[in-house]
């Protein structure tokens, strides 16, 4: 039995089968038709909305234009019914927004491309995407099918990985890998750069829980912390962090350990930047943004006291976006901190700088405009 999902389609009266790839976790479509340069945007849009996928056999640049035309039709604002009502709450607005995003992603994900073994694209005017696909998928010794929209995500991630994300607080760039949370929002990094280091660091190491790209571990090393243990359980993030830390010359100070949450031992400083929104991810790559039932937040707070040295601090980096969306009230967070035997020593805050905070057309604009990212300095409650 083949361990990989398969996609099946008929072409010129012959049944074909290939491996199906989807990093978003989308199952292979059950209905597939062949599309080419003669396929109209209206036809493609209708088929995609009905759940029929289109396997493209034509010019690659025309396929990109077709996808853009489909997106314009999806994004076209419908006339509001006379009895249409606004969402009753920020939480309802958030869930409706995510539902619309998921429907849009499903429809646009119906335009498919054939890939040969080795990740080459057998289409006219197709770019060389082999390296971008290799970085995300690993080696490919057989042909497969994936969506054009996913390929565009892979190419974008490859470009970020090549050029890097400038981090002013580091005086260098971080190069994120595909599927690893990119530090494009710098306010949380600036908070870690200016927060006063606890005196207990002279007695022990610092832990960076869920290091991701390794950016915070590198920043602590830049600040003079002698020893840092950075933990991560995702293989992509582990490779990404190790590569970045090696590039920045931090390997003598930072040890990257594969484990879930805390390493063994105690530390004078323990830093954690968990996913900020307590909602269920719709795909594996969303786990960096959504923390179902605040699981990672609970795990960090509940285990913090047992791993802190006397006088040590835990730095919890958390946006209050969930509070403005009505998904997790401030009182709930404070109760979690108290229940874990911790106390708040101080809180540093920063306003967001990303474009969505100023976009009045964004469905979640009110929450984004009011958002503050905080660094909570936590200590053991005596």
pLDDT grade, residue 80 (50/70/90)? low
Domains and CATH numbers, the chain: 6-160 (no CATH), 165-380 (3.40.50.150)
pLDDT grade, residue 1 (50/70/90)? very low
Average pLDDT of the chain, as a whole number: 90
Average of per-residue pLDDT across 2-12? 86
pLDDT at res. 108: 95
**Most confidently predicted of 73-77, 186-190, 206-210:** 206-210
Q: Is 240 helix (H, G, I), strand (E, B) or coil?
A: helix
CA distances from 276 to 66, 120, 304 (A): 35, 37, 18
For the segment 243-298, what is each residue's pLDDT rounded down to a tens digit?
A: 999 999 999 999 999 999 999 999 999 999 998 788 887 776 777 788 888 899 99
Evaluated on CA atoms 234, 240, 242, 244, the torsion sign reads: negative
For the segment 335-370, what is each residue's pLDDT rounded down to a tens digit?
A: 999 999 999 999 999 888 766 655 666 667 677 777
For the segment 115-129, what is each residue's pLDDT rounded down to a tens digit?
A: 999 999 999 999 999
Q: What beta strand segments (E) does the chain contain?
A: 6-11, 14-20, 31-35, 52-56, 111-115, 144-147, 165-167, 172-174, 205-209, 228-232, 254-258, 267-272, 308-319, 342-350, 373-380
pLDDT at res. 78: 64
Does position 82 have pLDDT exceeding 70, yes or no? no
Evaluated on CA atoms 150, 153, 158, 161, the torsion sign reads: negative
**Contacts of residue 317, Cβ cutoff 8 Å, sequence gap at least 6:** 188, 191, 192, 271, 272, 273, 373, 374, 375, 376
Does position 160 have pLDDT exceeding 90, yes or no? yes
Pairing relationship of beta strands 165-167 and 205-209 according to DSSP bridges? unpaired
Percent of the chain with pLDDT over 70: 93
Q: How far apart are CA 237 and CA 231, in angstroms?
A: 10
pLDDT at res. 19: 96
Which pair of structure tokens corresponds to residue 148? 């054009």
Q: Is 98 helix (H, G, I), strand (E, B) or coil?
A: helix
pLDDT at res. 81: 55
Q: Which pTM was predicted?
A: 0.87
């Amino acid at each position: 039995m083949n361990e990989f999902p398969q996609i099946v389609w008929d072409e010129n009266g012959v049944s074909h089968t290939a491996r199906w790839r989807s990093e978003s976790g989308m199952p292979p479509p059950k209905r597939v038709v062949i599309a080419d340069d003669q396929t109209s945007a209206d036809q493609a849009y209708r088929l995609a909305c009905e759940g029929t996928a289109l396997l493209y056999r034509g010019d690659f640049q025309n396929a990109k234009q077709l996808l853009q035309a489909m997106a314009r039709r999806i994004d076209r604002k419908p006339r509001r019914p006379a009895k249409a009502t606004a969402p009753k709450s920020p939480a309802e607005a958030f869930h409706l927004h995510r539902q619309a995003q998921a429907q849009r992603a499903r429809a646009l994900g119906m335009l498919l491309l054939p890939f040969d073994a080795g990740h080459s694209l057998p289409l006219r005017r197709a770019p060389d995407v082999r390296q971008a696909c290799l970085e995300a998928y690993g080696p490919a010794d057989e042909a497969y099918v994936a969506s054009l929209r996913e390929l565009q995500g892979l190419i974008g991630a490859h470009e970020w990985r090549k050029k890097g994300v400038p981090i002013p607080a580091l005086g260098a760039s971080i190069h994120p890998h595909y599927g690893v949370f990119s530090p494009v929002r710098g306010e949380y990094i600036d908070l870690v750069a200016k927060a006063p280091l606890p005196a207990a660091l002279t007695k022990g190491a610092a832990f960076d829980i869920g290091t991701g790209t390794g950016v915070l571990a590198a920043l602590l090393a830049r600040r003079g912390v002698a020893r840092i243990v950075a933990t991560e359980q995702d293989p992509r993030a582990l490779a990404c962090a190790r590569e970045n830390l090696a590039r920045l010359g931090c390997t003598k100070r930072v040890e990257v350990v594969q484990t879930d949450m805390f390493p063994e031992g105690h530390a004078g400083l323990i830093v954690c930047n968990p996913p900020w929104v307590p909602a269920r991810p719709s795909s594996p790559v969303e786990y960096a943004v959504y923390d179902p039932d605040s699981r990672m937040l609970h795990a960090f707070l509940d285990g913090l006291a047992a791993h802190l040295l006397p006088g040590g601090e835990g730095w919890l980096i958390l946006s209050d976006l969930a509070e403005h969306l009505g998904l997790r009230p401030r009182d709930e967070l404070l109760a979690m901190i108290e229940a874990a035997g911790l106390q708040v020593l101080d809180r540093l805050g920063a306003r967001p700088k990303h474009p969505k905070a100023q976009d009045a057309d964004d469905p979640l604009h009110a929450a984004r405009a009011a958002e503050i990212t905080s660094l909570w300095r936590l200590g053991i409650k005596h």
